[in-house]
Amino acid sequence: MTAHDPRLRVLMVLTSHATLGDTGRATGLWLEEFAAPYYVLTDAGIGVTLSSPLGGQPPIDPVSDEPTGQTDDTRRFHEDVAAQERLASSLPLADVSAGDFDAVFFPGGHGPLWDLPDNRSSIGLIEAFVAADKPVAAVCHAPVAFAHVANPDGTVFLAGRDVTAFSDTEEAAVGLTEVVPELLEDLLVAAGANYSKGPTDFAPYVVVDGRLITGQNPASSAPAARALLDQLLPTDDGAAGS
Report whether pLDDT(2) > 70: no
Q: How far apart are CA 105 and CA 225, in angstroms?
A: 8
* Position with higher pLDDT, 189 vs 4: 189
Secondary structure of the chain as H, E, C letters: CCCCCCCCEEEEECCCCCECCCCCCECCECHHHHHHHHHHHHHCCCEEEEEECCCECCCECHHHHCHHHCCHHHHHHHCCHHHHHHHHCEEEHHHCCHHHCCEEEECCCCCHHHHCCCCHHHHHHHHHHHHCCCCEEEECCHHHHHCCCECCCCCECCCCCEECCCCHHHHHHCCCCCCCCCCHHHHHHHCCCEECCCCCCCCCCEEEECCEEEECCHHHHHHHHHHHHHHHCECCCCCECC
Q: How far apart are CA 76 and CA 74, in angstroms?
A: 5
Q: How far apart are CA 123 and CA 55, in angstroms?
A: 17
| Residues 124/148, Cβ–Cβ less than 8 Å | no
Q: How far apart are CA 217 and CA 204, in angstroms?
A: 7
Give residue-wise pLDDT tens across range 152-174.
999 999 999 999 999 999 999 99
What does the pLDDT read at residue 223? 98
What does the pLDDT read at residue 6? 55
Nearest Cα to Cα of residue 232 among 97, 42, 103: 103
For each of the domains in the chain, give its residue range(s) and CATH number, in order of start. 9-232 (3.40.50.880)
Report whether pLDDT(238) > 70: no
Report whether pLDDT(150) > 60: yes
What does the pLDDT read at residue 152? 97
Give residue-wise pLDDT tens across range 173-222.
999 999 999 999 999 999 999 999 999 999 999 999 999 999 999 999 99
Report whether pLDDT(239) > 50: no
What does the pLDDT read at residue 14? 98
What does the pLDDT read at residue 229? 97
189 half-sphere exposure, CB direction, 13 A CA radius: 11
Q: Which of 99-103, 128-132, 153-157, 234-238 is the least confident region?
A: 234-238
Give residue-wise pLDDT tens across range 104-148.
999 999 999 999 999 999 999 999 999 999 999 999 999 999 999
| Residues 15/93, Cβ–Cβ less than 8 Å | no
Contacts of 56 (CB under 8 A, 6+ apart): 88, 89, 90
What does the pLDDT read at residue 236? 53
